[in-house]
Amino acid sequence: MTKEKVLEKFLLFVALSSISILALIAFFIFIEGIPLIWKKGVFSFLCGERWYPSRGDFGILPMIVGSFLVTIGALIIGVPFGLACALFLGELTPPLIGMIFRPAIQLLAAIPSVIYGFWGLIVIVPLIREYLGGPGLSVLAGSLVLGIMILPTIISISEDSLRALPRSYKEGALSLGATHWQTIWRVLIPAAKSGIVASIILGMGRAIGETMAMIMILGNAVQMPESILSSARTLTTNIGIEMGYATGDHRQALFATGVILFLIIMLLNALALIISKKRVR
């Protein structure tokens, strides 16, 4: 009993430590950023389209729109391919091929984001510029790169969710006359829905929080994107580019940008979890 109590207390300490670290980070960001938001006005800060720190103009609407466009584009690309790959590895591939593909997919997660950005800069950007027009440094380029970057997260967690299902689900559906594909589509995917949604949430967090690769391939123009071929700047790239030399209100505005980014991620996660729970019921 003594060992169990010690282990229980240790795990409780680890859990509380994680929560405390998150709370300290949030507290620090809010303390630094909230004063500027109140000073400029919430509406002016969120809906302003002009970002000229030297003139005291701090409007982050173009960066909010850019962040959402790039993230949505990455999900449109990454979710179908990721789920398809997870189904292939979990249900259709022979064991030997799976042993080759799984480490290769996991290796994608270990590649530094700057390498993805460099690859996008020398491969994707010139292709977009040549065949679709525009500067090449665009929302489309960022979406394509982020769609690839979130694949390991979506594939790994979705496959684990599918493999964790009891074999009786599959055997029962097949015994009732369902085909293999009907079993996958009608039984396995709905049963693993919570894990699949979790993988999408984590992928979305990775996409909206990516900085270095986006700095290299988005063009970083502080403007409202007119199309997927337009250059853009995200909330994270704005912080990454300007924090090194920002002072005074400019520095506080970047922390305020971090506050908005923090709230957006929390709201998106909460919304996704609520939708997932409603569908499970």
**Which of 144, 155, 157 lies closest to 79 in space, CA to CA?**
155
What are the two backbone dihedrals, phi and then psi, of residue 126, each rounded to the nearest 5 degrees? Answer: -60, -35
Q: What is the pLDDT of residues 205-247, one digit of tens each?
A: 888 888 889 999 998 888 888 889 999 999 999 998 988 888 8
**Which of 21, 44, 24 lies closest to 256 in space, CA to CA?**
44
Percentage above 90 pLDDT, the chain: 33
Domain ranges of the chain: 59-280
Rounded Cα distance, 56 and 182, in Å: 59
Superfamily of domain 59-280 in CATH is MetI-like (1.10.3720.10)
Residue 134 burial (CB count, 10 A): 17
Residues 269, 71 contacting (CB under 8 angstroms)? no
Percentage above 70 pLDDT, the chain: 96
- Model confidence at 269, pLDDT cuts 50, 70, 90, reads confident
Question: Beta strand 51-52 with 57-58: parallel, antiparallel or unpaired?
Answer: antiparallel
pLDDT value, residue 78? 93
pLDDT over 90 at 94, yes or no: no
Q: Where are the beta strands (DSSP E) in 174-253?
A: none
Rounded Cα distance, 228 and 206, in Å: 20
Beta bridge partners of 7: none
Q: What is the pLDDT of residues 36-78, one digit of tens each?
A: 989 888 888 988 888 988 888 898 999 999 999 999 999 999 9
